[in-house]
Every structure is written in structure tokens, then in C-alpha cells.
Structure 1
Amino acid sequence: MGMESDMEIDPLDQHGTKRTAEEPEPQEHPRPKKIKALDPDVVNKIAAGEIIVAPMHALKELIENAVDAGSTSIEVLIKEGGLKLLQITDNGHGIDRDDLPILCERFTTSKLKEFEDLTSIGTYGFRGEALASISHIAHLTVTTKTAGSSCAWRAHYGDGKLIPAKPGQSSAPKATAGRGGTQITVEDLFYNVPTRRRAFRSASEEYAKILDVVGRYAVHCSGVAFSCRKHGDSGVSISTPASASIVERIRQIHGSAVANELVEFKAEDTKYGFRASGYATNANYHVKKTVILLFINHRSVESTVVKRAVEQTYSSFLPKGGHPFVYLDLEIEPNRVDVNVHPTKREVNFLNEDEIIELICTEIRSKLAEVDSSRTFLTQSLLPGIQTIETLHREQDASQTETTTRTSKGHATPKTPAATKRPYENNLVRTDSKVRKITAMLAPSIPSNDPTNPDLPPDSTTQPTPLDTTLQYETTNRQPLKIALSSVKSLRAAVRAEMHTTLTETFAAHTYVGLVDSRRRLAAIQSGVKLYLIDYGLTCSEFFYQIGLTDFGNFGLIRLDPPPKLVDLLKIGADAEREEQLSASADKTEAESIFANAPDAIAETLIARREMLNEYFSLQISDEGDLLTIPLLLKGYLPALAKLPRFLLRLGPFVDWSCEEGCFRTFLRELAAFYTPEQLPVPERKVAAEEGVGSVPARVDGEEDEEEDAFVEARRAQMLRMLEYVVFPAMRARLVATSRLLRGVVEVADLKGLYRVFERC
């Protein structure tokens, strides 16, 4: 009975149901469903839905075809947001009568013959899917006339084929009157896809998107006149003449407020095979949403990477919440671009994306800095007798006026714009410390051959410190490697998945305040009106790990001259580890045996993998076991070479050599730990002085202590400059703050909170 009761099925149990004895047994192996080929009509509608998502996408394809046809005038007519009527008329070279029968068949094009032609394609539409897709979801009419034709030809299309204009008539193209060029009329878009058609909320919203597309190409396509209007309206929404300059086109489409604040920028690099030009607004203009007109090889595309980089560039120039307007024309060698990655060609991939974007943003930043003097700030009256550089220059001018004289004597007050309201002091944010700090105006105390300041002029009056070296930076013509390893991509995706958005924005907009404690590795930064205490040891560890992933396979080199023996360095690291283990471990014999054999075993491991270490990590080891180079992660930053032996020693037991992803992750973590700034001790004499001890007892090795203290102080001074001018600026531009960094960031002051405290006093 007990066994039977255990086998009974509870009727309330959701994992099983009762059945009577008369019910048939269920089939143990159900037959799988047959795989069938889709009907061609279904295939074509699916393809059309991928390419033509909205009327704006159909218009974009048609505009690109018109520009490819050599048009100098393009007219667009819209009815009900493009769903009822979308017509584009150009004066290009037209379409031959013999090509009209296959005009709307899929994959018919005049731009490609072989697949290899994709590596040199320089035109807009090239896959031959735009007109085919439109013909499957709309009624399409094409009227065209070439220069050698005596008349125009009109053809009607449906489902990619010629169809008669009316039932019973011939489907062949018919002769008609018309001007040179092509007119394409799209009627009743998505008439046979009712679900897609019902998804559009309003005609005015779709018309606004169409105006955005026309406006983008109207700005970019110099020498082409554009016009766009609604059906039934006498006036036009957009009208740009063919002779208008880019600035004038921006003025007509985006307004004078944008056009009056534009600065031109250009960037070019033959190494990366690109040339960029464009216009960006200066610091006097800002809006609530970033507007970027991005064209890559003359195709309007979108890029979140470019948008984020531009916004970070402007974060130093615009107030919080302000965003710029940027028009960027980027031309890249066709063999470096993969345009065939998106059905609508809205996205493209190209080589050296990060490097190219960084060069462009650097050029924009320099242009903004040049015109930054035109910004308007609230100022206060100068004290009597105070002179500025501007007034001194005016005094030297022979044509100075009476007003200039009064200003030079300190009697004039800079005018404040009347329309500007004075903000509350608790909302003011100080300017960038790199501009305002007086130390930035003084000559550095580090000679020109210091690796953290390679561009400084030599100063014969400065005395070299124990940390000064003769390192010099050299550039090579080696092309950067395009890393497509799935393991590296997985590690990069893991970092992005752990990103903390608020903390990332805090670092992206921060201002470095100063080093607080080099022993506990604490620094202060300001973001907005808040002051934070940062554990820069923890932050640098994550930052250098991310640099290792970003620049994987493309690290710089730090050459060691003369190159030390790898085994000797490992023995130094093993001796240091052994001393720590002996002081903490009771079993000294076991510790001695472990560290006696470790250097040779680890050296064999690294030498056996020297080709991989050189290719991916720039860690070069000769056949004889000499350590030639170590990786350079950040130009201007020199890691503590005293940590090199222990770093090499840890590559043996702490790197997972058994799998690819584990090996890359653990190696880069160890490399980041090596690059993380070390904890610098406080000199004993300084500690004694702070504790009130009258004098430090004299010791035999007193001179060595003084020399060690001098070395530590020199390293601290060097670390202070590297953190302020190299590490934290690089974090501002590149750090993706992950959630694990939250424990290393503490808010210590809030300006608004401090004002509340002072108000109660």
C-alpha cells in the first residue's frame, strides 16, 4: 500500500495529468515538421520589409540613386507623409529604354559585376534592391529620358516586373513627353502590408522624418539643388540652390543660430587612409540634443561611437546638459570599409575606427580651444590698479582711444550681457583646472627627456632626478592589427555589460583636483558641483585592463637597454616572494623548495610562448632568454620597473595557459596590476617630525635612508605629474566605469549641501 500511494498522481500536480485506461498511449517520438522553401512572393516581401521600413528609407534610397545619376537638381513631392505619394524628380543621365524591363528585379545594378568590386565601391546604391523592394510593397511608376533619346519612356511596376498601366493594356514601356532625367513615383506605400501601414501614427511625423533625410543630403551634396514640399502646398519646406556653400545650406535648413557659430575643421592621415572635414558649433551654441550629420564616403549613416566621442569632446566646453551641432564628412579608402553589413546601409564598419575618431575629436578640440576666447562669462569689476593682458596690449597700440586709456587705468568695468540672469552661486561649476591652475603656467621641473613630457623643451637649469631616464618615443609604419578573435570580443562585451552609466558619466566629465594620499592611493576629482575621493589604485587597475582589451595586439614597446636575463629577473621576484612567505609561513623548508625551482620553470613557459607574447602583448623575449621589450599601454606614463620581477613571476602560476579567453583575461589583469601606480611610503624622517620626535637617531646607513627618501620623493613628484596630465585625462576620454569601481568612489562634498549648512550658521 505504501508503494502504491507513493506512485499516485496528485490531480493538483502541474507536472502530470490523469488519463483513463481507455485513452490511447501518447506517441513517444512525434514527427518533426517538414522544412519547405518559402514562396518567392513571401521572400520578396520579407526582403522589402528589411530595406524599406518607413517612407524616409524609400526616399533615402531614391535620393542616393539620383545623386549617383549625376543630378544637379532634385525635387521631392510628398503626400500624407509619403504613404499616399512619394515622388522624386531629377535631371540626371536617365535610364536606357533597354534596361527598363529588369529595372526592378532584385540584385540588378550598374555598379557591380563581381564580388571583388565591393572593395572599391564608391557609389551610394549598389546592391540593386531598393527599387525591387519598393515595387513589392507599393505602386511604382518610372518616367525617364536619356540625352540620346528622342522621347521619354514611362513604365509601371509591380512585384519587380513590368505591369500594364490599366488592365488589358500592354506592359511594355510607353513613349511620352518628358524632360531629361528620371521621375520615380511611389504610390500607396505598404498597401499590401496593412500591419506595417497601421504602425505609422501620423503623416506629419513621417513628413518631419522625410525633411530630416532631405536636409542631410541638401547640406552634404554641394552642387546639387534640393527642394521638398507637400502635395497641394504652394510653398516649399526645403529649398537650397546648387551654388550655395555648406554654411549657407546649414543656415537655410538649421537656422542662423547654428550657422553663425560654426568653426571649420579638417583631419587627414595616410596611415589610416582617411580624410575628414566638416563644421562644428563653438562653445557659444548648445541645445538639449546632439545633432550630428555624419557622412562616410558620402553616405548618410549613424554611429553611436562617433556621437559619444563628440559629446565627450564637448563636455569640457559646454555647460551641463548642453549638446553641439556637428557636420562631419568622412572619406575612407574603399578597401578599408565594409558597407554591406546592414540592409538599409545605415551602418558601416571600417578599420581603425577608434584611432580615426580620436584624431577627428582631437582636431575638433583644438579648434574649439582656439575660439574659446569668444565665450561670454559673468565677471566682476577689476580692483583699482589691476591691469590685464588685453589692456597692456592696448597701451602699446599707437591708435589707443580714450576708452582704452580708462580701461588700462582700471576705471572701466567689463560689461555683462543684460539678458543674462545671474545664477545662484551654489549652481556654479568651476572651469577646467588645466586652464586655471597657476602651475600649468610655470616651467616644469622635469627635463625634456622625461618620458611623461617628451615634447617639453630642454632646460639646462634643472637638475636631473633619480627617476629621470633617456627614453625617447619613436613611431613605426606598422599597420595596426584588426583583432577579430571571439575571445577578445567576449571580454570586451563583458566590460560593456558591467558598465555603470552614472559613474561613467562622472568620470567622463570630471576635473582632476589633486593627489591626496600616495600611500593609500587616494586622489580628489570634481564632477559638476560634487567633490569625490577616488581610490586611483583600484580605478587604474580597471582602466589599464580596458586599455589592454581596446589596444589588444597593438601595444607600444618599452625597450630595455641593455636587455636583462629573464631568469635573473624571475629570481629577484622569487627572492622577494620567498622572504615574505618565510616571515608568514611556519614551514620554511616547503617555501624554500617552491621558490628554488619556480624561476627556471616559469622562464621555460614564457620562452616557449614567446611568439604569442610578442604578437599579442608586445612582450619580446630572445631565443637566449633576454627580455627585450615590455608593452607600453599609455604614452607618457611610466610604470614602476621595480614591480617588473614580480609581474614576470606571477605570469607562471596566475595566468591560465590552458584556454584562449582565460589566458587573455588573466594576462591582461596581471599587466594592469603591473601598470597600476604603486603605494609610496612616507619618509621616516617626515613621520618622525609629524609625530613630534625631536630628532631621529643617527644610524650607520643614514646616507642610504636619505638616498631612498630622495628617490621616493622624486617618484612621488613624477607620479603627481603623470596622474594629473596623463592618467586622469586618459580616463576622462576612455574609461568605462564598471560597477566594481563603486566601492572606490566616495562623495565627500556637495556644493549645494555646503550652502545649506552655511545658511544655517
Structure 2
Amino acid sequence: MDVDMMEPRGTKRPIEEPEASRKPRKIRALDPDVVNKIAAGEIIVAPMHALKELIENAVDAGSTSLEILVKEGGLKLLQITDNGHGIEREDLPILCERFTTSKLKEFEDLTSIATYGFRGEALASISHIAHLTVTTKTADSSCAWRAHYSDGKLVPSKPGQSAEPKATAGRGGTQITVEDLFYNVPTRRRAFRSASEEYAKVLDVVGRYAVHCSGVAFSCRKHGDAGVSISTTAASNTIDRIRQIHGSAVANELVEFSVKDDKLGFSSSGLATNANYHVKRTTILLFINHRSVESTAIKRAVEQTYSAFLPKGGHPFVYLDIEIEPHRLDVNVHPTKREVNFLNEDEIIETICDEIRSKLAQVDSSRTFLTQTLLPSVQTLAPPNRDTEAGPSAPKTPAASKKPYENNLVRTDSRVRKITSMLTPTMHRTSTTTTDADAAAQATATQTFLDEGFQYETTDREPLKVTLTSVKALRATVRNAMHNTLTETIAGHTYVGLVDEQRRVAAIQSGVKLYLIDYGMFCNEFFYQVGLTDFGNFGTIKLDPAPKLIDIIRIAADAAIENMQLQAGNTAAAKEEREIFTKAPETVAQTLIDRREMLSEYFSIEISDDGHLLTIPLLLKGYLPSLGKLPRFLMRLGPYVNWEDEQECFRTFLRELAAFYAPEKLPRQASSMQNGNSQVQEGEYQGGPQDAEDEEDEYIWTRRAQMVRMLEHVVFPALRARLVATTGLLKGVVEVADLKGLYRVFERC
């Protein structure tokens, strides 16, 4: 059987060829459509490049808020919404034609360009390889305009319709929607390995501009997800933006630097991590004249600078902002504008690295550590004597030796020794050896103390099914503001101890990291979320005897009047304010009485017909809010709750309720209670308040002891089980220790 063998590749053409095949081929002009697709392939290589161009256009338009939506890594959907100045209706027909721009008129303008875009190719390129929709509204326009584009030209949204832009409802600014990217370039579409990988690249682009663009709020989320992957506010500073995007581990170790040289025509500023932080790969956020670029020379020089400060294999995080005189810079050297050329490159890089090296040397000074022979409250116990030939003083050899501390040691049992045992004692405790029977008695006493003043009763009331749109919207708002990492940290934490009851600071451990958290802030958010979750199904705390509502509110009003007299004196304005507070109790009390049916149904606040307060809501079993805050809470329900709008009414009411339930600030103890002679042992507080010479109020002492137990046994377990940590809580957390980081510090010392 004969088989035709294919001619192997690379074989030279034989000399004996037909005459026609040796003639030169005809040169033809490419079809414009082919030219545009080739150009689009150079400019838009991946979804991240399309997004980069759209972000730069949005910032050029004066936007202060950018919302980005991504589906399947940007290949299926890439949408960016800004609040910039928009696009005029007359400009929409040529918006997506190549080389149409409002930022450049002559070639010489490149020497003074101050905007991100200048060539007018981004939208044109996108329209040739995707379905593009633009919705825009200017400040002067009475409505928004929506236009659809394909191959750089306007196209109808549906067959048979007009291609002209259509009037539609919309807010000020521009929304650009890119769908089915590379739909007509199947080879490139198949080259992308996974949507998750492309989404990670998209987040990297958004994160870079979110760090750099001060005054601009960024949010980026995946289509279908309730939470956002990146969220920064317009008011956040650079360090806060780095903390939100790259984590506290980076933000806590940043060193600020700046350098300027008029001779070289540049100035530079930035943030770089110190020698306590290093990772396996260098991260450089480089901006030259506010454009995100890459530079191998700068990256190599920075890594060389850090080689003297970091261990082998360690790499830094650097945010570097360089401003160079425009006439010394060439921005048009790369299709995606990710590279630039500038004069005196070597000298500028050397100057910047010298400044970074100087700052690192200042931080990397010698460290001094205080030591002590024995930690407080640690007792040395002699081993029991054994009747052996060697005698009672012979050393004992353990059956198996184990290193007491490990690099990955994780706290798993909250009953082991706490950080509070190392602090100055805040309460007198007895110093006795604890037996199993004592431990059981202490546990029983703890539960009794937590339930002191409560008599729980179970009701037969059916749970209320909440179908109110307003409540669902408020719950969705909380979910959208969720911070995944912080939520996981709280969900897996171990309570360490109360640090400062006046500043409301407690210590927790998660993994191998120790944090200080503002438990007042966390409890405020937690009880607000409990109010939304258990809306209409709260328990009740019965007040017996029931006080008169107006009398309670009058207590808060009198306190406010007294405070104003101390601060403002007898001025006319102060007298007018005091008169308002004098009349406030009757007005607020009547407002609450008129709405007592709603308060009873939704918030478990029962008020009798004659104005007596019968019950207040119970949000968390075992937790007793400070009843001293009740007068202020009731008085604020008048002016600080929006009774007109349903959703705002529920939100403001639950915020006031959460503030009432949040633990109060307690005064620090008298100095006599903080002397070093007090004997301390881990366990429960015992005994009563100090002698009369300490002069501490008995109620404050009791409340302090009660708060210590409620935080450990009720509040923090509830936070671990139910809290959805929002981005606003990030400012209430400080990382104070990382076991691995401490090991690296001691290794370097």
C-alpha cells in the first residue's frame, strides 16, 4: 500500500520552479477592518488592559467614585461606572473611531501631556473585539444617552432599530459596558486559562490605581457576589488604602520617603516596607507622572537595595510615585503604555534607592529588650520527692523532650494562661492553689454572676416572619460591606483578655497573630446586626417596678442642661438650648407613647397607656446593658430617629439601640488598686470592693467585674458565632504581634 509522504518542513525550494512562482507577490493595502483588529490585538491583550484604559479615562473625566463589575474574569462582562463629567451627545457618533481624542491636538503636545489617555485608541480597539455600550450624562443634560458600538461605529441595539443614541434614565457620569471580549478572535479567547486567573489580574490593576488615586473611591466585585473584592473610600489616605487592599501586615511596616532633585527635574515619594517584613516576590506599585508602568531597571535596583536588609530570598513591598518634567519623558513607547522612557534614568534611580536605603538604615537601629527573672503570678513548684537511690534532689529526666515553643504555635484553649496575668492587676484576687472542685465551683459562680438579676421565662409567641423590603435592604447593605478576611479572623479568634476598660480595648488571638480590638466599636456593629437579624423577635427585659417614661427622659434632659451650664454659662444661646431641653421630655415621651404599638411589635418596647415603661428589648441572653444609659437612649429616640421614612426609621432606631447596648466606658481604678503588692492568679475575681481607703464606688466595682465576665463568656463567643465584620471595623483592629514575625526579629538580632 502506497502512502504519500508529506514534504518535511524547512525544505528549500528546488531551482526548477515554474516561472510564475518566482515572481514577487503583489503588495496590497490591508482592509481597514483587518488593520483595526490587528491594532486592537496590540492594545487590548487581556481584560486587564481594557479595564486599565477605562479606569484611566474615568479618572481623566474628574470622577470621584468608580464602581467595577466583572464576570468570568472580564471576558463575559466588564463594566465600569463613574461620576465624572460625562460625554456630550454630539460627541457620541465619533466616540469609538480611532484617533479621536479630546486630550491631544498636535504631536508637540506629548511633551506636556498631563492626562492618562492621549491617542484615542482604547474605545476604538475595544469596539472591534467586543460588544460595547456607553451610557452617559453630563451636568447640563436633562437625560442620559445610551449608544451601542461595533467596529468603531454606532449600531442599533436590536435589528431594525435606529443606530442613533437613545435617551434613557441615568445618573451623572458615564457607564461603559464591555461584553463578550474577543468574541471574534476565538484563538485568543481560548488562550486564557481560567476566569479566576484573569479576575486576579483585574484586581491587581484596580488595586494599583486604588492605592494611587487619592480622592477617588474604588469598588470592584465579581458578578453574582454580594460582597466586594476591593473597596476604598474617597477620604482614605494612602496607608489606609494599602491596608485595605494588601493587608495590615504590609501597612504596619511601612516607611515613608521622599526625594527631589531640580537638576534632574524630578521628585519622588512613596512608602516601602522595613526590614521586619519580607515575602517571596517583590511587589512594586510604580507610577511615573501618575501612570501605572513597569520598569525592570527600577525593580532590579530596589531589590539590590533591600538585599542588605532582608534575609536571603526575602523581597519587599514598595509604592513609588515619581513625577518627572513632561519634556524629559516619552510616554508613547508601548502599545499598552505600560513602559516609558525618561532622561537621566540611572541617576534618578540611584537617587531614589539612596533615599530608601537611608530610611531603612534609620529604622534598622539596635533594639533593647527588657527582661525579668519571673513573670507576675507564676509560682515555682518543687517536684515531688521520690524514694530513689539517687535521693530526692536528683534531676528528673523526662520520658520525651519537646520544644516548648514552636514557630506555628496556635492558641486553642482559652482557659490557658492569658495575657492579663502579665499585666498590672486591676482587681484583688486570692492567691490559692486551684483544685478541680474549686474550678467547678468557679464555673458555677461565673454562670450565676452572669445571670444575676435575670429570671428567664419562655413565651409561646410565634416568631414573626419579616417580609419588609426595608429590613431586607438594610441586611443587604451589611452583606455588601462585609470584609471577608476580618470576618474570618473574628470567627476563628480566641479571647485573650480585657486590656483597658476605659478605652474599651481587648486582646484576641487568631492563628499565630495577636490583635487589640476596640470592643466598643465591634459591639456597636454586632448589636445593630442582631437588631436586623432578630427584627421583630427580640426578647424582653421586664422593669419592676415600671418607671414613668417621662421621668426617665427628664433625667437625661437635666444632665444635658447641667452640662451646658458648666460649659456655656448664661449666654443667650445657652439659655435657648436649655429651654429646648426643658421641653424635650414631654415631646419625646408623647412621641413614643403615640407609637407604642409599633415599638411593642417590632422592638419589644412596651409602654402602658399612662406612660409607664414596662419592658425594653433583650438582644443577647446573659448580657445586661448599662441601665445608666437608658435615659439618654430614650431621649435620643425623639430627635435622632427618622419617624417619617420606614427604612430610615428602622436603621436609625436600631443604631440608637446598638449604642445603648454597647459596653460603656468604665473609669480606671484607684491607684491603690494597681500597686505591685497585689497577689494575682489566673481565675475568677473573688471578694468585694476595696476597703474604704480605696474610695471606689461599689457599683463601679461590681459593674467592672460583671463586664469582665460578660465579655469573655457571652459577648466574644457571640461575636465569633454571628458577627459579619464590615470594612468600617478595620480601623478598630490593630495587629500587635505575629509569632513568625517575632521569630524573624529575634533571628536578626
If the TM-score is normalised by the length of the shorter chain, which range does it land in? 0.3 to 0.5
Bigger RCO of structures 1 and 2 (CA < 8 A, at least 6 apart): 2
